[in-house]
Amino acid sequence: MRHRKDHRKLGRTASHRRAMMRSMVTSLFQIERITTTAPKAKEARRVAEKLITHAKKGHRAHLESVSLASSGKEAEAKQQESVALAHWRHADRFVRTPVVLRKLFDQLAPLYMERNGGYTRIIRLDKFRVGDNARMVMLELVDSEISKKPLIRGAASVETVEADSKAKGRGKSKEKAEAAEAKPKKEKKAKPEKVAKEKSAKPSKPSKPSKAKADTRKKDSGGGKKAGAPKKSG
């Protein structure tokens, strides 16, 4: 039984966990796609979808107040405007940046007006976090501009890649290369071969006989005592 187990504590204190959820949800609404671990993504998804529901209700109440004010019903218009303000203040407790809060009510809420829940999705990635080998996932908003882009590099068409590179100024090097290939290459003149100078033949010096050969020559020529000489008598 899951008594008093409403959410994952994620090994953090209540204040730390709340601050982390606020930061993750703000980043999700700002860039519409974040990468994190699976348990944190599942907890951030709960908070993000509740905030989108509040934004939808606030946006709907604001539209009704505008229509009532145009028809002359000022009291009812103020009442609907107070409802929209209450939803705005509730979302302001979690979203850190005013710019992102404005985007939530003006852009994301109208996008999901006809959708009953399921504003986010979790995609498992084939990579793990260094250190504890935790599974990494991608949390993104459904039907947003960034969700339509491919996840794998190289999956986009060649035309879109070239258009993006030219828009960012990266296609200049490619254009220069194509222009260089189109120009006729100049023929290089053949350099005259260098004539090798003939080295003057130096007369070789006679080699000196070694000491061992000189001793053998002395013995052969009779430089020592003769073997057949008679001994002197006393």
What are the extents of the domains in the chain?
Answer: 14-151
The whole-number pLDDT of residue 11 equals: 87
Condensed to tens digits (0 to 9), the pLDDT of residues 9-38 reads 888 999 999 999 999 999 999 999 999 999
The whole-number pLDDT of residue 154 equals: 38
Condensed to tens digits (0 to 9), the pLDDT of residues 120-146 reads 999 999 889 888 888 999 999 998 777
Condensed to tens digits (0 to 9), the pLDDT of residues 63-94 reads 999 999 988 888 999 999 999 999 999 999 99
∠ CA(170), CA(149), CA(103), 5° rounding?
100
> For the chain, what's the residue count?
234
φ, ψ of residue 121 in degrees (nearest 5): -145, 155
| Whole-Å CA distances, 212 to 58, 216, 222 | 116, 6, 16
pLDDT above 70 covers a percentage of the chain that reads: 62
**3-state DSSP of 31-67:** HCEEEEEHHHHHHHHHHHHHHHHHHHHHHHHHHHHHH
The whole-number pLDDT of residue 72 equals: 86
The whole-number pLDDT of residue 234 equals: 42
The whole-number pLDDT of residue 36 equals: 93
Query: Residue 6 — very low, low, confident or very high, per pLDDT cuts 50/70/90?
Result: confident
State the DSSP code for 172.
H
Condensed to tens digits (0 to 9), the pLDDT of residues 175-232 reads 565 666 666 666 666 665 555 555 555 555 555 555 555 555 555 555 544 545 555 5
State the CATH class of domain 14-151: alpha beta
Q: Is the pLDDT of residue 46 over 70?
A: yes
The whole-number pLDDT of residue 219 equals: 56
Q: What's the predicted TM-score (pTM) here?
A: 0.61
